[in-house]
Structure 1
Amino acid sequence: MKNHSLTYLKMFLSRNLSSQGYKCPSRAFATLNNKTAIKETTIDQSHVDKHSKIAKEWWDPNGKMIALHSYNLLRVPYIRDGLVIEEPFKRTLTPLSNKKILDVGCGGGILSEAIARLGANVTGIDASSELIELASDHCKLDPKLVDNRPSYHCTTIEEHSQSFPDHYDAVVASEVIEHVANKELFVSSLVRAVKPGGKLFVTTPNRTRPMQILGICVAEHILRVVPVNTHDYEMFITPNELTFLLEKNNCHVQAIHGMMYYPVVNRWTWSSSTTFMYALQAEKLTDEDSNV
């Protein structure tokens, strides 16, 4: 009886929706049959398209991505220190040697290249094929990376983490989570990709009115130091919300630091307040830690 009812429902949908100019996707019927669920995604295509359109200007240190270039002076040491703090400190040009690091939403490779220069084995992923092509071509121009070039792939974090679970020593998502459609899926996928005991690093704007005024209205529409319409205030996430998602996925948040960007002098600094921007460091718990 149940199968007959399902058949009639399919016929009803097909006839009525088709008569109104709609098409019934086959995956909807598959969902009704409980065989295939509609695939979830972290991708907001409008945000991917915005970044793809400025690919030609990505590596201009004085162009539209000027803030990302100077950002490396703050975020690269943050990642480095978070990974070598438990090891005997050695004065070396490659302190991240033997570290496998995933750069999620790598764009044109500004951060990926910087981390690779410290010796890390870097994999960069992004949903924009234009930016992945750009990143792959640009890293060939640096003679310092000839023996340690980042590996770039056009994919999503949910797809990549399925293929490489518990794989990386660290996963970095710098200025990315504010652009994704499904933050819960995004965070769980970040965690899936990192090894137990590995680190996660996230930098992002805070969802506050001061950040909306200065980070969007002033920075994008008045000073134009950030491409117009780069950010959507409603897509920002607070430190408490991000902490909740990480702890829900078996992680311990170790530190949250506030950051400030001064566009007039193109300079980033640490701040005692997370009102505008923040950097978060977390550790994926091992089975032993989880049982304590």
Structure 2
Amino acid sequence: MNTETHDSANVDAAEIDKFSRLAHKWWDKTSEFKPLHDINPLRLGYIDGHAGLAGKTVLDVGCGGGILSESMAKLGADAVTGIDMAEKSLKIAKLHALEENVGNISYRHIRVEELAEEMPHAFDVVTCMELLEHVPDPAAIIRACAELVKPDGMVFFSTINRNPKSYAHAIVGAEYLLGLVPRGTHDWQKFITPAELARMCRQAGLDVIDSKGMTYNPLTKIYRLDDNTDVNYQIACRPQ
């Protein structure tokens, strides 16, 4: 595989390097990845509630260390494939799945656009969570996800809204005041409004059938899903 070619296509090398340097901490629930562990039950429940993961073939785009991928496999998916461009994260994901004896999961170092050419309409469920705000061309990722899902399948995205409130919460609050994630994790200019995401989905042949916001209470330190999409939010889509 010519990684230089792949890495230059819709991949931010600085983002890959950032997550690669933290790869050994993916499964440390007290580390920088604690928020992902905290929100994972909410993400998992949202996906399973809409798609019914049991017996399904699932693709997790931008899987990182496998937190969501592995939980979907454990919930009864027939087969889960996780893909990411950070090889160090994939090594951690593979090792953890081996330690947990999760046999219905596999990981690949491949761009989603490339996989879409290789395996069109191959998956019942496609998830792409917390990735779109980290790539140069999110619309291309969405198009590839639409190409990978079966005509009767479902696609899920999560990202961060772009407005003054999201800057205050996701950048100032989460990175500088509360220290929930490392400073520099996010670039506010790459955040995506729900209207922009819905438009990109429609252009890719996907209809948004549901959206939910995710809020964090700094006093109780609890995340919950609600109808407020001002900051973090996720959507469920079906092919048109």
TM-score by length of 2: 0.93
Are 1:182 and 2:137 matched, yes or no? yes
Aligned length: 233
SS in 1 for 2:10: coil
- Alignment partners' CA distance in 2, 1:171 and 1:180: 18
In the TM superposition, what whole-angstrom CA distance separates every residue of 1:89-134 from its partner, at most 9, and x where no partner exists? xxxxxxx332011000000000001000011111000000110111
Equivalent residue letter for 1:76:
L
TM-score by length of 1: 0.77
Is the 8 Å Cα contact of residues 100 and 168 (structure 1) preserved in structure 2? yes
Residue 264 (structure 1) shift: 4.8
Are 1:151 and 2:106 matched, yes or no? yes
Q: Which residue of 1 aligns with 2:21?
A: 53
Question: Equivalent residues in 2 for 1:165-180 (5 A)?
Answer: 165-180=120-135
Residue 267 (structure 1) shift: 2.0
Query: Cα RMSD (Å) of the superposition?
Result: 1.5
| Larger gyration radius, structure 1 or structure 2 | 1
Q: 1:70 aligns with which of 34, 38, 48?
A: 38
Are 1:224 and 2:179 matched, yes or no? yes
Question: Equivalent residues in 2 for 1:114-129 (5 A)?
Answer: 114-120=71-77, 121-129=79-87
Equivalent residue letter for 1:240:
A
In the TM superposition, what whole-angstrom CA distance separates every residue of 1:23-45 from its partner, at most 9, and x where no partner exists? xxxxxxxxxxxxxxxx9822111
Is the 8 Å Cα contact of residues 24 and 89 (structure 2) preserved in structure 1? no
4+ aligned runs moved over 4 Å, structure 1: none
Q: Which runs of no fewer than 5 residues in structure 1 stay unpaired?
A: 1-38, 85-95, 286-292
Residue 223 (structure 1) shift: 1.7
Q: 1:262 aligns with which of 212, 217, 226?
A: 217
Q: Which runs of no fewer than 5 residues in structure 2 stay unpaired?
A: 1-6
Is the 8 Å Cα contact of residues 206 and 239 (structure 1) preserved in structure 2? yes
Identity %, equivalent residues: 35
- Alignment partners' CA distance in 2, 1:115 and 1:63: 22
In the TM superposition, what whole-angstrom CA distance separates every residue of 1:58-81 from its partner, at most 9, and x where no partner exists? 111111110000111201010101
